[in-house]
Chain A
Amino acid sequence: MKISKAPTADTGSALLPPLFLNWFQAKGWSPRAHQLELLEAAQAGQSTLLIAPTGAGKTLAGFLPSLVDLAQRGKSNAASRGIHTLYISPLKALAVDIQRNLAKPIEEMGLGIRLETRTGDTPAHKRQRQKLVPPDILLTTPEQLALLIAAKDAGRFFEDLRYVIFDELHSLVTSKRGHLLSLGLARLRRLQPGLQTIGLSATVADPDELRGWLVPQTDGSPLASLVKVEGGAKPHITILQTEDRVPWAGHSAVYALPGIYEAIKQHATTLIFVNTRSQAERLFHDLWMANEDNLAIALHHGSLDVSKRRKVEQAMAANALRAVVATSTLDLGIDWGDVDLVIHVGAPKGASRLAQRIGRSNHRMDEPSRAILVPANRFEVMECQAALDANYIGAQDTPALGEGSLDVLAQHVLGMACAEPFQADELYAEVTTALPYAALPRDTFDRIIEFVATGGYALKSYERFAKIRQAADGSWRVTHPRVAQQYRLNVGTIIEAPSLNVRLTRQRGKGSNVRGGPVLGKVEEHFIEALSPGDTFFFSGRVLRFEGIRENECIVSKADGFDAKIPSYAGGKFPLTTYLADQVRNILADPARWGALPDQVSDWLRIQKEKSVLPQPGSLLVETFPRGERSYMVIYAFEGRLAHQTLGMLLTRRLERAKARPLGFIATDYALSIWGLRDMGRMFKKGELPLSELFDEDMLGDDLEAWLSESFMLKRTFRNCALISGLVEKRHPGQEKTGRQVTVSTDLIYDVLREHEPDHILIQATRADAATGLLDIRRLSDMLGRIKGHIIHKDLDQISPLAVPVMMEIGKERVPGEAHETLLEEIAEELTREMSDHS
């Protein structure tokens, strides 16, 4: 913040030992102001947050205090010392990368510092040696930290710990992984109260949250100090200009293909970001078809086989590629060679995400990044424009930290019992020093202990099988070594969606019982689930034919032709952020700002203004109109797809009760459309069903309850909570379980638990998760409060221009709330009818 008072190269000589100054000099460099500022804060005993854009030399800055301290401490006298500095990164690859980058200065200065990584890939013998002879600096991941502090020798291992460095802190803290990490930090602080933390982060909306995260939540303890590097050159961002018609709806951006291809040709290396795997597949395929010049274009997403991904990454680092089509797997860290252009296809959905992705190009902070945004439809044109404005003004919309989840706490409590017996009072005091758990009520903590011990059920029938039990002195300890073994196998918060290997066979049309070929990657079970043999789809850059399923493999063959019959699930993976939604609404409402939009888009808005009205900030526009035999209602809420889906479910229930006979609904990021048999516009106007009643906040009471109880979304959330909390094991000693083979169905457990103990702690945790996650209830409730008394109803004779996009989604996307029973009945009736016809 106070850049002016930053130490200069002169004061640097006071902070840095001669060894370091000479090294900088020999390189022809001088230490950067923020590097010295961070060093000064660290040497003054402060924990510090460093906020800097990519390419600012964040890593060296983060390690400088350690290196200086270690250099002054003198050569390490092996065996007698524990870890001095712990570095934690969200990605294994990042830890490996850092080791390479840091080894060089250490060697060149002859510091004699031992630097090692410890990840899931580290062989057992090396891990054992690390325990006996700890390195000075250990580079690791949140999961490995959880394992290290749950070990019996944790106290000795960390007895010399001085610094803990958190890389990419902004991306870690908002997830359950971040919750687990915050608890790990709390434990480290108990083991070593004098330790200092250093957080490295990209720009965030609220730095104070991260500053708080880095220090213990005890009375009067100050926030971590802040060192902020202002961004280098402003990025150069444009929206793709095209003569072609921007589509009303959809996500494929096929219209822009010639423009994208031209941009690739004009640049050395282009990174193309899309929001979902299927968009990546689709775009890669289309580019390949258009690739008349045989440019080296590759595909990279998380479902592809690891070896394939590594190959692409290596080719990228060697500058052998002209373009890579990628999803969020490339969002973080790691150096990607000389990228000189980033193309973002589809709206970025969040301004921060866009900034991060654009940072991938020109990894040197003093040169401007170049980026082109490619909106896939007309609403996205406005969204891109809004994001573009946001990037220039440096606005950020990273989500707030939120409260620590209880399933993670349960996992941590068991881990702490594995380390050593604990007293509930002491562990509670420790846990509440972590920011996400600072407000944790004591009785909730006690219920979590009960949960860990015996499941925490009202029916106390598992006392004799307890995993942890209180000894005479009141301390909780594990009852059997097997418990610790199981804990170690199941540590972590990353739950992969059940998925199947995609295996290519050359034998076509013979079903799944054939000799298999290479594995191409993994696909989610829910995608495969709706395919029948013979269906074709895009994967790994080709068109594949689904043959069948064998154990946990999906057998495919190469398909003829270039088009896939099954369009992969389309739709943005990330919901629109509140910040961008507001911006889009502002653009819409203000014709003065339409000048920045392409003519076809501003014309579209102009006609909307003539035929209906424009949605205004601070109110909610509801349009009704007839179409075919049905009555439609379109609600322009701009709250993101998840919140709209929840709203759709709840409104449909209410309309049902009001006898409006609703038939279905569809949600996009911008609007929600509901259709039914009765004229809803008339019902609203006649006062038969006042809109104020329909949209009353009380829908979040009983209606929500009733819907939640049968919602499949809650079951999906429950599964994650059950796995993370250790109620159900991901893996059991001796048998590696894939997501597909969890030993017992969590859906069935959920049904039974909800029936018998609806207020069980794990059901509470599930609901809290769903409220912020899949259902986005918080956002919905904010909106309902805001628009009270500000609903504008427009009853029209026909569809309005603004309604076209959402109406075009009807029939394309699945309707998630559709009752399974209805579906079964429909198929059964159909079969019966066919049979009678044939007899």
Chain B
Amino acid sequence: MNLVSQITKTMLHGAAEMVVAGHRCVCDPSGAMYLEDDRILVVSDLHFEKGSSFARRGMMLPPYDTATTLAALGRVIARYNPASVISLGDSFHDGEAAARLPAQYAAQLGSLMAGREWVWITGNHDPDHPAELPGETFTELAFGNLIFRHEPSKRPCPGEIAGHLHPAAKVVRRGQAVQRRCFVSDRSRMIMPAFGAYTGGMNILGRPFHGLFDAQAIIAYMLGSKRVYPMTAKALYI
């Protein structure tokens, strides 16, 4: 399959499909990725309770980030009705965030988890299983040709689906720059955008991404309000 047919294939809900290590991956504008053939939904870097984590240190960020993230998660789960959900690490902003989760949100999360398999991959912010919550916890998980882990490996790693870096892409036109969170892939591996309401982005041309992808084959799916926008290397700015 060549680059063109991948780029042009925009799907329902403004999502786009691309093949990574032989698996068909649907990149949803919400920032979630859906493995249609296996009914697996993947989200990364939810950073639940980031607001209260800052409040502990004296920065009273609006306490509505978890609600916003949960609502977005709820919408994408309703859209695809996945059999399994993988949360790719940094699901909670700190080690105590799961315990701090207000009861109403815990219940809301519980109802999203009900009736499906749920996998927590550990991340640097949440190295342990989230307190009191169901689901299984792994440091990494292999599935078919794919391997799910939080931090992308420094060396080429075919089939790796990772998060952690909060990728974002920037394009410029008529003197105006637009930066958005994005999926980034070279068809061998993929790094997913951060899903959480308070998670920003890091430019994929920046140093942390150096050497992770085949520079010629890189595609960034930038998240728009209703669809994703595929961009190739030549359109990207730092």
**29 A/B residue pairs, CB under 8 Å, sorted by A:** A455-B62, A457-B63, A459-B63, A461-B102, A462-B60, A465-B56, A512-B238, A529-B170, A530-B175, A530-B176, A530-B237, A548-B238, A727-B60, A727-B61, A729-B58, A744-B59, A748-B198, A749-B61, A752-B62, A753-B64, A757-B62, A814-B174, A820-B176, A820-B178, A821-B225, A824-B224, A827-B173, A827-B231, A835-B3
Known contacts A744-B198, A749-B198, A755-B68; is-contact A831 B59 (Cβ 8 Å): no
A442-479 to B contact mask, C-beta < 8 Å, 1/0: 00000000010011110101100101000000000000
B197–A748 touching, CB < 8 Å: yes
Given A818-B176, A823-B173, residue A831 in contact with residue B231 (CB < 8 A): yes
State the majority secondary structure of interface residues on B.
mixed
Tell me which residues from 43 to 63 in chain B have a Cβ below 8 Å from any Cβ of chain A. Answer: 50, 52, 54-63
Taking CB atoms, residues of chain A closer than 8 Å to B206 are 549
Tell me how many residues of B have a C-beta within 8 Å of chain A. 50
Given contacts A744-B200, A756-B68, A821-B224, contact A831 B7 (CB under 8 A): yes
Q: Mark B222-234, 1 if CB is under 8 A from A, else 0.
A: 1011100111101
Q: CB distance A462 to B198 under 8 Å?
A: no
Chain A interface residues toward B at CB < 8 A:
451, 454-457, 459, 461-462, 465, 467, 482-483, 486, 512, 526, 529-532, 548-550, 727-729, 732, 743-745, 748-749, 751-753, 755-757, 760, 814-815, 818, 820-821, 823-828, 831-832, 835-836, 839
Q: A532–B172 contact, CB under 8 A? A: yes
A653 vs B234: C-alpha distance when bound (angstroms): 34
User: Known contacts A757-B62, A820-B178, A827-B231: does B68 contact A832 (CB below 8 Å)?
Assistant: no
A827 to B175, CA, bound (A): 13
Within 8 A of A (CB), among B156-192: 170-178, 180
* B64–A757 CB distance below 8 A: yes
Known A455-B63, A745-B200; contact A462-B177, beta-carbon cutoff 8 A:
no
Do B232 and A529 touch across chains, with their CB atoms under 8 A apart? no
Contact A832 B8 (CB under 8 A): yes
Q: What residues of chain B lie closer than 8 Å to A454, measured between beta carbons?
A: 55, 60
Q: How far, in angstroms, from A237 to B176 measured CA to CA in the complex?
A: 40
Within 8 Å CB of B3, what residues of A? 835
- Ranked nearest first, the 9 interchain pairs of A and B with the lowest CB-CB distance are A455-B60, A756-B64, A529-B177, A828-B229, A753-B62, A745-B200, A835-B4, A814-B175, A824-B229
**Nearest CB on B from A809, distance (A):** 13
Q: Is there a chain A Cβ closer than 8 Å to B216's Cβ?
A: no
A461, B229: Cβ atoms closer than 8 Å: no
Which residues on A sit within 8 Å (CB–CB) of B230? 828, 831-832
Given A823-B173, A824-B171, do A744 and B61 touch, yes or no (CB 8 Å)?
yes
A836 touches B4 (CB 8 A): yes
Q: How far is the CA of A549 from the CA of B60 in the complex (A)?
A: 32
Given A756-B68, A824-B178: A455 touches B61 (CB 8 Å cut-off): yes
Closest-by-CB residue of B relative to A814 is B175
Q: A744 vs B200: C-alpha distance in the bound complex, in angstroms?
A: 7
Contact status of A752 and B198, CB under 8 A, knowing A482-B58, A727-B60, A818-B176: yes
Q: Is the CB of A461 within 8 A of B52?
A: yes
Shortest C-beta distance, A60 to chain B (Å), equals: 46
Q: Give bound CA distance, A836 to B8, whole Å.
A: 9
- Specify which chain A residues have a CB less than 8 angstroms from the CB of B153 in the assembled complex: none
Chain A residue nearest in CB terms to B65:
A752
Contact at A827–B235, with CB atoms within 8 Å? Answer: yes
Task: Give the shortest distance, in Å, between A49 (CB) and chain B (any CB).
Answer: 40
Question: Which residues of chain B are within 8 angstroms of A550 by Cβ–Cβ distance?
Answer: 207
Q: Does B111 contact A (CB under 8 A)?
A: no
Nearest A residue to B177, CB-CB? A529
Q: Are A467 and B58 in contact (CB-based, < 8 A)?
A: yes
Would you list which residues of chain B between 201 and 227 have a CB under 8 Å from chain A? Answer: 206-207, 222, 224-226
The verdict on B67 contacting chain A, using a C-beta distance below 8 Å, is yes
Question: Given A465-B56, A823-B178, do A828 and B63 touch, yes or no (CB 8 Å)?
Answer: no
- The residue on A at minimum CB distance from B69 is A752
List of B residues within 8 angstroms of A530 by Cβ: 172, 175-177, 237
Q: Which residue of B lies closest to A816 (CB)?
A: B176
Contact A832 B175, beta carbon cutoff 8 Å: no
- Taking a contact as CB atoms under 8 Å apart, the answer to whether A825 and B229 are in contact is yes
**A839 adjacent to B4 (CB under 8 Å):** yes
Whether B224 pairs with A818 at a CB distance below 8 angstroms is: no
Report chain B residues within 8 Å CB of A827: 171, 173, 229, 231, 235
Chain A nearest CB, measured from B55 CB (Å): 4
